[in-house]
Amino acid sequence: KTVTAMLVDGVVRWVAKSGWVPGYTLAGKTWTAQIARPGWYETGPASTVASYAWYGPAEDPKFVIIVKLERSRVDQFWGSTAAIMFKDIASYLFDYYSIPQKKQKTENK
């Protein structure tokens, strides 16, 4: 429960939020890694592995998705590549399998 809460917080407030699908509580983790060579790391475009791992809905998971892009020529970071692909896949799966959105709490005044 603690790890799930941390991963949900990353999607809600931090760097993983570019993969958020409105109406769902998601637990996600991003990472970008440079590609290693003997004695050095590659730099510049197409020199990283950009990834986004996720499960959801967080309170009752139905899917686990990992998007991993090696040597992306669009961008070297996960935010504009893997997270966007993930969001499209997750949105499709929620719709296809008719997984209901989480009801949003409203504040009583």
Residue 86: predicted pLDDT: 85
What is the pLDDT of the chain when averaged over all its residues?
Answer: 83
The model carries a pTM of 0.74
pLDDT tens for each residue of 48-64 = 888 888 899 999 999 99
Cα first-last separation, the chain: 31
Question: Is the pLDDT assigned to residue 108 strictly greater than 60?
Answer: no
User: In this prediction, what percent of the chain has a pLDDT beyond 90?
Assistant: 34
